[in-house]
């Protein structure tokens, strides 16, 4: 007998027919004698719809009420799955975030899970009842509903697995594992049998949304065994049907590649401040007010000073925050002293990730050469120990991902793979 958490994403929960398939999978694990907690997402598209209602109601919505609205998609699917399980003879009940409770920070809209009380849940599992838990939600200060940021059901699942001391956390989605890049963009992408926590963390943070970044960080910290699987494909006889996220020591040399994956992210926007005075404190005058407004800055490029004693500063902010960022910079114009504020949301960040970079030179050079040969201009660059990211024009993003995937030798042998 094992204790398992099974998480089903939006496509897997999109309609009663799909929920029936999910219920059968859960029943299979339950009949094998396992203790099962299921974490569910809202039906595909539902959270977008709810977010749009809030925006339509008021551009300056109260984040606490936003959370009341957008958390409701998961309430519906958790109830529906419990009903469907009961209908096929599996005792089940839903546990909303405030009922367990799952306590979170006060950061409405992207709250962090702080503690999960498993007392009631343990009693229910011991009774052979399946627990169905809506992902993405918890309870913040003042007993207000809070949500965990988009894609947050992955984090709910990993946090539940850690709190329950589960043996496994199986993340069922609409692809059968983590690939060398998004298989919807590059059909020749290869499925990875295993990927390290560190690489998955980096891949997720640069756009591979198959797992929410926070969920990977939490799994790494808590040592949760996470596996990514398809809810649409039968596992068959393969003992490792999806992708297992593992510690680096579990990957053998044969499996090691220089580059593990390529990712893209279209959620950032580029901002340039022209002719910023070239003096100490100038850059702080730009980024200080942005930080105070809680706007995350990602890539930064400062050009060499013009002969006139001024310089151009380019950086990226989340696209959704662009209007606020422009407002903050406009208000700070007197302090910063720039001549023009230029912005462009039509950019994409393309990244290559791999622990092999630590011991091999030339990864970045190969990236720049490959993009240059295709006439793709690089607008900004950032690197970490195991990642190189470039900012390019959005129109070239798919081409860039494809050519880099080929250049680093990641293409599958044939299209069927």
Annotated binding site for substrate: 47, 74
Give CA–CA dist 161/168, Å, rounded.
Answer: 7
- Residue 151 Cβ, how far from ligand ASP at the closest point, in Å? 5
Residue with Cβ nearer ligand ASP (20 or 150) = 150
Beta strands 194-196 and 243-246 are parallel
> Is residue 68 within 8 Å of residue 145, measured between CB atoms?
yes
The item of ligand ASP, ligand ADP, Mg ion, none sharing an interface with residue 138, based on CB under 5 to 8 Å by kind, is none
Give CA–CA dist 43/11, Å, rounded.
Answer: 6
Residue with Cβ nearer ligand ASP (14 or 262) = 14
Q: Does 78 bind ligand ASP (CB under 6 A)?
A: no
Structure token digits, residue 326: 């422009």
- Residue 230 Cβ, how far from ligand ASP at the closest point, in Å? 16
Instruction: Tell which one of 11, 34, 47, 94 touches ligand ASP (CB under 6 A).
Output: 47
> Is residue 340 within 8 Å of residue 275, measured between CB atoms?
yes
- Residue 174 Cβ, how far from ligand ASP at the closest point, in Å? 12
Give CA–CA dist 353/192, Å, rounded.
Answer: 13
The item of ligand ADP, ligand ASP, Mg ion, none sharing an interface with residue 152, based on CB under 5 to 8 Å by kind, is ligand ASP
CA nearest 209: which of 151, 255, 155?
151
Binding residues among 127-166 for ligand ASP as defined by CB under 6 A? 135-136, 150-154
Q: State the residue number with the nearest CB to ligand ADP.
A: 9
Q: What residues form DSSP beta bridges with 273?
A: 313, 341
The item of ligand ASP, ligand ADP, Mg ion, none sharing an interface with residue 208, based on CB under 5 to 8 Å by kind, is ligand ADP
Q: Does 151 bind Mg ion (CB under 5 A)?
A: yes
Question: Where does residue 345 rank: exposed (0-12), middle (13-18), buried (19+ CB within 10 A)?
Answer: middle
Strands across the sheet with 102-104, in order? 113-116, 102-104, 137-140, 144-147
Q: Residues within the annotated binding site for ATP?
A: 7-10, 173-174, 179, 184, 209-210
Interface positions with ligand ADP (CB under 6 A): 9-11, 41, 151, 173-175, 178-179, 181-184, 208-210, 261
- Residue 135 Cβ, how far from ligand ASP at the closest point, in Å? 5
- Residue 334 Cβ, how far from ligand ASP at the closest point, in Å? 39
Instruction: Annotate 316-349 with three-state secondary structure.
Output: EEEHHHHHHHHHHHHHCHHHHCCCEEEEECCEEE
Residue with Cβ nearer ligand ADP (85 or 203) = 203
CA nearest 166: which of 129, 121, 209?
121
Angle of helix 282-292 relative to helix 322-331, nearest 10 degrees, comes to 130
For 135-156, b where at least 16 C-beta lie within 10 A, e where not — what string?
bbbbbbeeebbbbbebbbbbbb
Q: Residues within the annotated binding site?
A: 7-10, 47, 74, 173-174, 179, 184, 209-210
- Residue 200 Cβ, how far from ligand ADP at the closest point, in Å? 9
- Residue 412 Cβ, how far from Mg ion at the closest point, in Å? 24
The stretch among 29-37, 54-62, 147-155, 399-407 that binds Mg ion (CB under 5 A) is 147-155
Give CA–CA dist 351/388, Å, rounded.
Answer: 6
> Is residue 148 within 8 Å of residue 213, measured between CB atoms?
no
The item of ligand ADP, Mg ion, ligand ASP, none sharing an interface with residue 191, based on CB under 5 to 8 Å by kind, is none
Structure token digits, residue 409: 């030798």
Residue with Cβ nearer ligand ASP (136 or 396) = 136
Residue 201 DSSP class:
H
Residue with Cβ nearer ligand ADP (210 or 290) = 210
Contact set with Mg ion (CB under 5 A): 151
Contact set with ligand ASP (CB under 6 A): 9-10, 41-42, 47, 73, 135-136, 150-154
């Amino acid at each position: 007998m094992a204790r398992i958490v099974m998480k089903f994403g939006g496509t897997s929960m999109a309609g009663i027919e799909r929920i029936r398939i999910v219920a059968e999978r859960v029943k299979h694990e339950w009949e094998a004698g396992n203790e099962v907690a299921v974490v569910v997402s809202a039906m595909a598209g539902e959270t977008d719809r709810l977010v749009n209602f809030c925006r339509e109601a008021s551009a300056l919505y109260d984040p606490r009420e936003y959370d009341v609205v957008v958390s409701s998609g998961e309430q519906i699917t958790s109830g529906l799955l419990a009903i469907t399980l009961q209908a096929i003879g599996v005792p089940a009940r839903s546990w909303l975030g405030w009922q367990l409770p799952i306590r979170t920070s006060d950061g409405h809209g992207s709250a962090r899970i702080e503690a999960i009380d498993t007392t009631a849940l343990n009693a229910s599992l011991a009774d052979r009842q399946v627990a169905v838990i809506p992902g993405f939600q918890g309870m913040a200060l003042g007993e207000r509903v809070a949500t965990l940021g988009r894609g947050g059901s992955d984090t709910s699942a990993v946090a539940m697995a850690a709190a329950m001391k589960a043996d496994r956390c199986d993340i069922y989605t609409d692809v059968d594992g983590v690939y060398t890049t998004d298989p919807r963009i590059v059909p020749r992408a290869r499925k990875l049998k295993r990927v390290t926590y560190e690489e998955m963390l980096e891949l997720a943070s640069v756009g591979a949304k198959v797992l929410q970044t926070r969920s990977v960080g939490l799994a790494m910290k808590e040592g949760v065994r996470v596996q990514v699987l398809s809810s649409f494909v039968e596992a068959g006889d393969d003992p490792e049907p999806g992708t297992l996220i593992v510690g680096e020591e579990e990957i053998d040399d044969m499996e090691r590649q220089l580059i593990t994956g390529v990712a893209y992210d279209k959620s950032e926007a580029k901002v340039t401040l022209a002719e910023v005075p070239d003096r100490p404190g100038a850059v702080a005058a730009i980024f200080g007010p942005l930080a105070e407004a809680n706007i995350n800055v990602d890539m930064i490029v400062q050009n060499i000073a013009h002969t006139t004693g001024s310089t151009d500063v380019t950086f990226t902010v989340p696209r959704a925050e662009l209007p606020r960022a422009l407002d903050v910079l406009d208000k700070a114009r007197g302090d910063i002293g720039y001549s023009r504020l230029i912005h462009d949301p039509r950019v994409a960040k393309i990244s290559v990730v791999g622990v092999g970079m630590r011991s091999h030179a030339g990864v970045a050079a190969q990236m720049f050469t490959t993009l240059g040969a295709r006439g793709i201009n690089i607008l900004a660059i950032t690197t970490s120990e195991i990642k190189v990211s470039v900012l390019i024009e959005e129109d070239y993003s798919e081409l860039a991902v494809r050519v880099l995937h080929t250049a680093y030798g990641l293409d599958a042998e044939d299209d069927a793979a």
